[in-house]
Amino acid sequence: MNNGKASGQITVMMEPTMQLRYQEYKKRKELWDEIMGDFEKIVKLDGQHELETMVLWNLESYSSVAESISAQDAIIGDLAICDGTIDNNLQKFYILSNLPKSDKWKMFKTSLELSGKADSVTKIITHLQ
């Protein structure tokens, strides 16, 4: 198969706006490299977006602890798809730093930390419920 036909077969499956983006590439290797480069950029941007979402996550935005933890787990899963990771220490940090800011919650957080009950994500979640 010649380069023009291969490139045409690749682009014909794309939406028209995407076809315009890649129409200048006539050699299949150049076209494929450009598509992969764009894909890598998108994955990186998605990863940054997921990380920002994780930073902004907070308990008050959800109707229950289970729903909020499920949302956080979904963010962590999406981040993993983008080759990003949130280790347990960072997840604990995000949970504890994004609790409501009332005095009651500040006391809860302090008591968890001082009692050693904040040493794992599972323990924190257990005490939140």
pTM of model > 0.85? no
How would DSSP label each residue in 55-76? HH--GGGSSSHHHHHHHHHHHH
Using left for φ > 0, alpha for ψ between -120 and 50, and beta otherwise, residue 112 falls in alpha
Q: What is the pLDDT of residues 13-36, one digit of tens each?
A: 788 888 888 888 888 888 889 889
Q: How confident is the model at residue 3 (pLDDT cuts 50, 70, 90)?
A: low
**Where along the chain do its domains lie?**
1-56, 57-129
